[in-house]
Structure 1
């Protein structure tokens, strides 16, 4: 089994409830074991005019292949009302594979480590609740290095 970290975000239809429902769905994934979830964090949208986001990170151990896991995550998104009208639009649920063991994945549908995680405090700080600071990404950077370069600005930690 490989340790996989999944970024979760929502800014529509009771975002905290969307994340709680996603956690329940992640715990039911086949060939997987749910490990834990971070606290929830609220932050402003990266785009103006959108509602605030609620984000968290979940950890699972799984034997699923990366694209099989991606398909399962997208099915969870659809089950929770996700509509894909625009790339950066508001969403009921967004589930992103942040890290998949120590793999470097460069597929048309999947890039791991997640391509913008290094610059997103709403990803790094929840990830730090679940992963050791010494966690090394496939490109050689450690979580502690990423945190040092990404200040805790604009985040509000809330209870899950």
Structure 2
């Protein structure tokens, strides 16, 4: 039985073959078709670095239909990161490619090394922005809110304190 997955992609380092981070993300979007059928691809956006990262990121999202169970898909994504040249290093450091499972059609998943929904996605505009372009109506199984609602809550202007 196949499942739907929302995958976040990010890069902030050049790749010898794919060039700038935007090219890396676009190439990775194509590579993920090896694990199922890519049903939707978001535009690639630029975002500010976070944590130890020094360079701006290119970020995107895609919806993948796959026969793989979440742990098998995670292993495939990690293998793809390594094939693109990712090396273990500092958390939130610069990287050629970062691939994360954000949501899946099965709701919640919890196992060593994998939590779905992704524990931090609700606070990350660089995930919610691209995701809202292709999966606006997907619901977070924890909050019950849609991707569009989560994105609006995170990015709406707040009045200045008096």
TM-score by shorter chain over 0.5: yes
Contact 2:101 2:118 in 1 (8 A): yes
Match of 2:160 in 1: none
The alpha-carbon distance between structure 1 residues 6 and 152, as it changes in their structure 2 partners (threshold 3 A), is: farther
Tell me the C-alpha RMSD between the 2 structures. 1.6
Deviation of the 1:151 alpha carbon: 0.6
Q: 1:67 aligns with which of 37, 48, 71?
A: 71
Spell out structure 1 runs of 4+ moving beyond 3 A. none
1:16 matched residue in structure 2: 22
Higher relative contact order (CA 8 A, sep 6+): 1
- In the alignment, the residues of structure 1 paired with residue 82 and residue 28 of structure 2 have an alpha-carbon distance, to the nearest angstrom, of 11
Equivalent position SS for 1:28: helix
Task: Please give the TM-score of this superposition, normalised by the length of structure 2.
Answer: 0.86
Is 1:78 aligned to 2:79, yes or no? Answer: no
Cα shift at 1:49: 6.0
- Give, in angstroms, the shift of residue 124 of structure 1: 0.5
Quick one: structure 1 residues 89 and 48, their matched pair in 2 at CA, closer, same or farther if it must change by over 3 Å? closer
Q: Deviations over 1:46-105 (max 9, x none)?
A: 136610000000111111010000000011100100001122211000000001114211
Establish whether residue 111 from structure 1 lines up as the match of residue 115 from structure 2: yes
Classify the secondary structure of the residue corresponding to 1:150: helix
Unmatched 5+ residue regions in structure 1?
154-160
Give 5+ residue unaligned stretches, structure 2.
15-19, 158-162
TM norm structure 1: 0.87
Aligned length: 150
Larger radius of gyration: 2
